[in-house]
Amino acid sequence: MADSQELDLIVKLHNPNTRNQAFSVLVNTHQERLYWHIRRMVVGHDDTDDILQNTFIKAFRALDNFRGESQLYTWLYRIATNETISFLKTKRLKMFVSFESAENHFAKHLEADSEMSADSIQGKLQRAILKLPDKQRLVFNMKYYEEMKYEEMSEILGTSVGALKASYHHAVKKIERYVVEH
Amino acid sequence: MKTPLPKSEKEGFRLEEFSSKSDKKAPFQVPDGYFENLTPKIMHAVNAAQSNATAASPFGWIFRPMVWAPALSVVLLLGAAYMFFYPTAPENSLAQEELNISDLEDLDLLDDYDVVAYAEIPTAHEAYEELDEEEVMDFILDQDITSSSLFTNDITL
């Protein structure tokens, strides 16, 4: 979204009379990209749908606190990321209590919700990605799939560029090793 | 003696090469028409959440700052005045007695080494031996620990 369009949208979002219409534009502009960001982390469509709705509900409630210090997309992305990480933490806790491995849980969703075979390179790649720690998987997805710049990722995640580069490099090595060994 | 190459380097799977030859899109299925119906669905959810928030408490006005802030100020002032004019700590309270080191020795309290022994907590050295290098690396990256924070011992977990 161009800067002038974004500024215009922010003004409308802060005006109670135009807020709903402006928010609808915001949702329509960013929904798909946010959906895939969440989906790559939680794998299942239904969970993704819930998290996406929660993200936009929280964003709507926090509109008055948005000061335009970052771009709207960066702000939304940050909310979506926090919601996703919270969801994964809760999920892992539930898995721990039920003695089910979180990786097995997500792998089952992967087989049910995707179009690939488990033995294909793509299948191995997806399983390798699922084995990464959540934050590292987040970094990997943002860099590999969304092709974000490290500086943008740093602004969203609040992590240094150096740490992000190291995390991504390490993730790639782990994934490559996994694909060869399985 | 040379360290053998990792298997991935010998057999040559490179993520970058793979992604250049294939579609990077994650292979997940999406229900038909999902994105076309998503905006009205989200706006409905947002409006419903807003309606629930305003309708949640008929006495919500009680919690507005303009209502409770003056009341709280009065309570705090009264509490401070009471404490000033009616101090609760008697002159001979136990808290005001000085503890003697010999008192503690007489009580035969366990020291830290005894507690550790009974709890069978592994020593730091043993604990670190259980971690492999990859686990340590994952932890450092996950916690965003930088080299400068390692040297200044400035790590908050």
Q: Which CATH class is domain A114-182?
A: mainly alpha
Longest Cα separation, chain B: 83
Give the closest-approach CA distance of A50 to chain B in angstroms.
10
Nearest Cα to A138, choosing from A55, A27, A44, A40? A40
Q: In chain A, whose CA is at the least distance from the CA of B147?
A: A163
Supply the ipTM of this predicted assembly. Answer: 0.78
Ranges of CATH 1.10.10.10 domains, chain A: 114-182
Q: What are the DSSP calls for B7-31, one per residue?
A: HHHHHT--HHHHHHHS--S--B---
Q: Which residues contact A128 (CB under 8 A, 6 or more apart)?
A: A174, A175, A178, A179, A182
Token pair of B148 as six digits? 């400068």
Out of 1.10.2020.10, 3.40.50.1100, 3.20.10.10, 1.10.1740.10, the CATH code matching A1-98 is 1.10.1740.10
B5 contact A CB<8A: no
Q: Which residues of A touch B7 (CB under 8 A)?
A: 177, 180-181
Rg (CA), chain A: 18
Cβ within 8 Å, pair B46-A173: no
Token pair of A24 as six digits? 């609808």
Token pair of B64 as six digits? 């507005």
Cβ within 8 Å, pair A24-B27: no
Q: How many residues does chain A have?
A: 182
Using the CB atoms, write b or e for A86-120: b if 16+ within 10 Å: ebbeebeeebeeeeeebeebbbebbeebbebeeee
Give the closest-approach CA distance of B148 to chain A in angstroms.
12
Q: Could you tell me what percent of chain B has a pLDDT over 70?
A: 32
pLDDT in tens, chain A (182 residues): 568 888 899 999 999 999 999 999 999 999 999 999 999 999 899 999 999 999 999 999 999 888 888 889 999 999 999 999 999 988 877 766 565 566 666 666 666 666 666 667 888 888 899 999 989 999 999 999 999 999 999 999 989 999 999 999 999 999 999 988 88
Q: Which residues of A touch B35 (CB under 8 A)?
A: 31-32, 35
pLDDT > 70? residue B23: no
What are the pLDDT digits (tens) for A11-53? 999 999 999 999 999 999 999 999 999 999 998 999 999 999 9
Ranges of CATH 1.10.1740.10 domains, chain A: 1-98
Q: Are A80 and A24 in contact (CB under 8 A)?
A: no
B136 CA to centre of own chain: 19
Helix and strand numbers, DSSP H then E, in chain A: 9, 0
Cβ within 8 Å, pair A24-B38: no
22-81 of B, contacting A, C-beta below 8 A: 22, 24-31, 34-35, 38-39, 41-43, 45-47, 49-50, 53
Using pLDDT thresholds of 50, 70 and 90, give the confidence band for residue B75: confident
Q: Which residues contact B38 (CB under 8 A, 6 or more apart)?
A: A27, A31, A32, A35, A52
- The residue-averaged pLDDT of B5-31 equals 69
Give the closest-approach CA distance of A112 to chain B in angstroms.
9
The span from the CA of A128 to the CA of A53, in Å, is 28
Return the axis-axis angle of helices A150-157 and A134-144, rounded to nearest 10°.
140
